[in-house]
Chain A
Amino acid sequence: MKVSMRLRAYAAIAHISSLSRTAFSWALLMNGLSVGLYIWIFTQLYTATYAAAHVQTIGGLTLCSVIWLLMFVQCFERATWPNPIYKIDEEIKTGAISYALQRPYNYILYHLFSFYGRIFPTLLGNLVCGSIAALLLVGPFSLSILGLLCGALAIILGYTLDFFLFFMLGLMGFWVEDVKPFSWLYSKSKLVFGGVLLPIAFFPASVQKVVLLLPFSNLYYAASRIIVQFDIWLLLRCLTVQLVWIAILGSCAYALFKRGVRHVTISGG
């Protein structure tokens, strides 16, 4: 009973967060349109690349698969904007944390479910715009229901993983004046190692081995790859790496929060 009530509470947090995000309907639309624009740029870029290389596949991916893969990665990644780093940092700096801390919920779970809720409407808009753009530019790919379901599971874990990294960087606000450099570094790491611009399948084999074990490639790239080109071994590796990182980063986030909360000073009286 108690657990189900707590679950309802966290679901309500996700719900209101989602509702609040829909207040920015223009931002949602522009986000979706920008995904469409990126897909067009990727199509021009990779069409030229495949044509210059005179090949049908690179790293086991056809041009169509690459575009759909990047479409999913873009949709997933861009749905996290604006990222929670600034929200958490702002809560700490402005003292708004005083309300957030005195509620009967776990502060980390509150932000996690709020993050899930906020992503949802943006992701929906991105997927609609991105799919239309990809369909018009490269046509459909062979979608399997199993791939879609497993990809959905992987993306939930991917978002959870991303959240813990965002959360820890946001908590840096307890100790440093400005968290922007951390946020910048993290977003650029995702660009390079997260398969946001270049599929990791295109990396040299030795680099791929390392990159696929890092959290960055298991945020959105792994889930997108599962949706576009389902493979049971890919799924198992992705879920294992994700769960290990979630356990490590979740513990670190908890420890950091416990330490940070002792540093609350609440500016402005």
Chain B
Amino acid sequence: MPIIQLTHVSKIFHVKQKQAGFGASFWSLFKPRYTTIRAVEDISFSVDQGEFLALIGPNGAGKSTTIKMLTGILMPSAGTIDVYGYNPFDQRQQLAYHIGAVYGSRSQLWYHLPAQDTYDLFARLYDLDDKAYKERLDFLVTTFDIGPLLTIPVRKLSLGQRMRCELVASLLHKPKVLLLDEPTIGLDLIAKQQVRTVLKQLNETEHTTVVLTSHDVGDIEMLARRTIIINHGTIVFDNATEQLKRQFITTKIVEFIIEQPLDITWPFGTVIEQTPYCIKIAVDTKKTAIADVMSFAMNHGHIKDINIYDEPLENIIAAMYRMTQGAR
């Protein structure tokens, strides 16, 4: 049964244009010009209870706007949204008891105080009784491993530590729906891994419906069972993540940092960047195992370091377009 339902939703922003120069700025006081930005255009989808959905797309694609319409912060310009039986914009306060949200680039914790103080405040805001609050907090503190962080002012926490504390704040009231806008942005690999593991665990054990936006293909591969790709405000892909992986996420970028310049021809993949001490190769994992590429490199030179990246999301979307146009 859908817990989230969007029907023909659009969001248009009217943004004031600012011309360069003093004269233009002065005249804009009397005759302001506005430009229309269609952030989201006629999108429809639903999310079932307990589902883990990834909403991905490049910068400015409309994914964060969609999340903000789901929380009720932004009012859709057209269409209808239903989250847990509520109209988010008109019934924002009632809906707040059932949803939790984290925005990776912003903080909900009181900056100069330890996270514990914010948690105590949220317990009051969400009318949690003392016993239930204590039990829930103990569980989340253990799960996210933030025990030693509870008494440190938020401003002194690292980004990864802060993000774990943010997630705890959003989960205190046991929300049915968790909306995460770039929760892993700026985190290092270990911090990302920690956040992903806990989110997966919560989704599986508490059946929390999770909608996550991300730029990171790794988030999607590890977490989401279903993926929606938004580009220029419209949905370009809505299917199982497995399907996306099989069809489109097949390229890995392998970067070798070498001690001596190599003069060899690479039999695998495509060399996309080469300097005397660094080589980047795009490898199609359907055709070649990463291990083969690595052993070839190690047999031919002294490798100082290896990095493996996912293909940028923009490339995946471009590949999708090529495929769609080819089919036409």
Using a CB–CB distance below 8 Å, which chain A residues touch chain B? 5, 8-9, 11-13, 15-16, 19-20, 23-24, 94-99, 101-106, 262, 264-266, 268-269
Q: Do B60 and A104 have beta carbons less than 8 Å apart?
A: no
Q: Which of B66-88 contact A (CB under 8 A)?
A: 68, 71-75
* A20-B112, A104-B126, A105-B125 known; A99-B103 Cβ under 8 A: yes
Q: Do B74 and A264 have beta carbons less than 8 Å apart?
A: yes
Q: Do B72 and A12 have beta carbons less than 8 Å apart?
A: no
Which residue of B has the minimal Cβ distance to A5?
Answer: B127
CB A111 to nearest CB in B, in angstroms, measures: 14
Q: Do A264 and B120 have beta carbons less than 8 Å apart?
A: no
In the bound complex, what is the Cα–Cα distance between A184 and B126 (angstroms)? Answer: 38
By Cβ-Cβ distance, the 7 closest A-B pairs, closest first, are: A12-B124, A23-B112, A104-B96, A269-B64, A99-B108, A102-B71, A16-B121
CB B166 to nearest CB in A, in angstroms, measures: 10
In the bound complex, what is the Cα–Cα distance between A242 and B20 (angstroms)? Answer: 46
Q: Which of B160-196 contact A (CB under 8 A)?
A: 181-182
Using a CB–CB distance below 8 Å, which chain B residues touch chain A? 13, 15, 59-60, 64-65, 68, 71-75, 92-94, 96-97, 99, 101, 103, 105-108, 110-113, 117-118, 120-121, 124-127, 153, 181-182
CB B242 to nearest CB in A, in angstroms, measures: 28
Q: Do A16 and B117 have beta carbons less than 8 Å apart?
A: yes
* Selected contact of B106 from candidates A9, A12, A98, CB within 8 Å: A98
Which residue of B has the minimal Cβ distance to A266?
Answer: B68
Q: Do A23 and B106 have beta carbons less than 8 Å apart?
A: no
| B residues near A97, Cβ cutoff 8 Å | 73
| A residues near B72, Cβ cutoff 8 Å | 101-102
CB B291 to nearest CB in A, in angstroms, measures: 37
* Selected contact of B113 from candidates A12, A20, A264, CB within 8 Å: A20
In the bound complex, what is the Cα–Cα distance between A188 and B93 (angstroms)? Answer: 37
* Selected contact of B96 from candidates A8, A15, A96, A102, CB within 8 Å: A102
* Selected contact of B97 from candidates A5, A99, A104, CB within 8 Å: A104
Q: Do B121 and A12 have beta carbons less than 8 Å apart?
A: yes
| A residues near B153, Cβ cutoff 8 Å | 23
Instruction: Beyond the given A23-B112, A99-B107, please list 20 additional residue pairs across the A-B interface where CB-CB is below 8 A.
Output: A5-B127, A9-B127, A12-B120, A12-B125, A16-B120, A19-B117, A20-B110, A23-B153, A96-B106, A98-B73, A101-B72, A101-B92, A102-B72, A102-B96, A103-B93, A105-B93, A105-B125, A265-B13, A269-B59, A269-B60
| B residues near A99, Cβ cutoff 8 Å | 101, 103, 106-108
Q: Do A268 and B105 have beta carbons less than 8 Å apart?
A: yes
| B residues near A102, Cβ cutoff 8 Å | 71-73, 92, 96, 99, 101
Which residue of A has the minimal Cβ distance to B185?
Answer: A269
Q: Give the interface SS of chain A, mostly helix, strand, loop or mixed.
A: helix
| A residues near B97, Cβ cutoff 8 Å | 104
Q: Do B59 and A16 have beta carbons less than 8 Å apart?
A: no
In the bound complex, what is the Cα–Cα distance between A125 and B114 (angstroms)? Answer: 24
In the bound complex, what is the Cα–Cα distance between A105 and B92 (angstroms)? Answer: 9
* Selected contact of B93 from candidates A23, A24, A104, CB within 8 Å: A104
Q: Do B101 and A94 have beta carbons less than 8 Å apart?
A: no
Which residue of A has the minimal Cβ distance to B88?
Answer: A102
Which residue of A has the minimal Cβ distance to B101?
Answer: A102
* Selected contact of A94 from candidates B73, B106, B126, CB within 8 Å: B106
Which residue of B has the minimal Cβ distance to A15?
Answer: B121
Q: Do A269 and B93 have beta carbons less than 8 Å apart?
A: no
Q: Do A19 and B106 have beta carbons less than 8 Å apart?
A: no
| A residues near B181, Cβ cutoff 8 Å | 269
CB A94 to nearest CB in B, in angstroms, measures: 7
In the bound complex, what is the Cα–Cα distance between A96 and B105 (angstroms)? Answer: 10
In the bound complex, what is the Cα–Cα distance between A5 and B75 (angstroms)? Answer: 29
* A19-B117, A104-B93, A269-B60 known; A9-B73 Cβ under 8 A: no
In the bound complex, what is the Cα–Cα distance between A148 and B181 (angstroms)? Answer: 51
In the bound complex, what is the Cα–Cα distance between A266 and B71 (angstroms)? Answer: 13
| B residues near A94, Cβ cutoff 8 Å | 106
In the bound complex, what is the Cα–Cα distance between A103 and B94 (angstroms)? Answer: 9
| A residues near B75, Cβ cutoff 8 Å | 262
CB A147 to nearest CB in B, in angstroms, measures: 35
| A residues near B121, Cβ cutoff 8 Å | 12-13, 15-16
* Selected contact of B118 from candidates A5, A16, A105, A264, CB within 8 Å: A16
* A98-B103, A103-B96 known; A16-B71 Cβ under 8 A: no
| Best-surrounded residue of A19, A23, A104, A262 (most CB of chain B within 10 A) | A104
Q: Do A269 and B13 have beta carbons less than 8 Å apart?
A: no
| B residues near A9, Cβ cutoff 8 Å | 124-125, 127
Q: Do A265 and B15 have beta carbons less than 8 Å apart?
A: yes
In the bound complex, what is the Cα–Cα distance between A101 and B60 (angstroms)? Answer: 22
| A residues near B117, Cβ cutoff 8 Å | 16, 19
In the bound complex, what is the Cα–Cα distance between A58 and B75 (angstroms)? Answer: 58
In the bound complex, what is the Cα–Cα distance between A161 and B15 (angstroms)? Answer: 33
| B residues near A266, Cβ cutoff 8 Å | 64-65, 68, 73-74
A sample of 28 inter-chain contacts (CB < 8 A) reads A12-B121, A12-B124, A13-B125, A15-B121, A16-B110, A16-B117, A16-B120, A19-B117, A20-B112, A23-B113, A98-B73, A98-B101, A98-B106, A99-B106, A101-B71, A101-B72, A101-B73, A103-B96, A104-B94, A104-B126, A105-B93, A105-B125, A264-B73, A264-B74, A266-B68, A266-B73, A269-B60, A269-B181
| A residues near B73, Cβ cutoff 8 Å | 97-98, 101-102, 264, 266
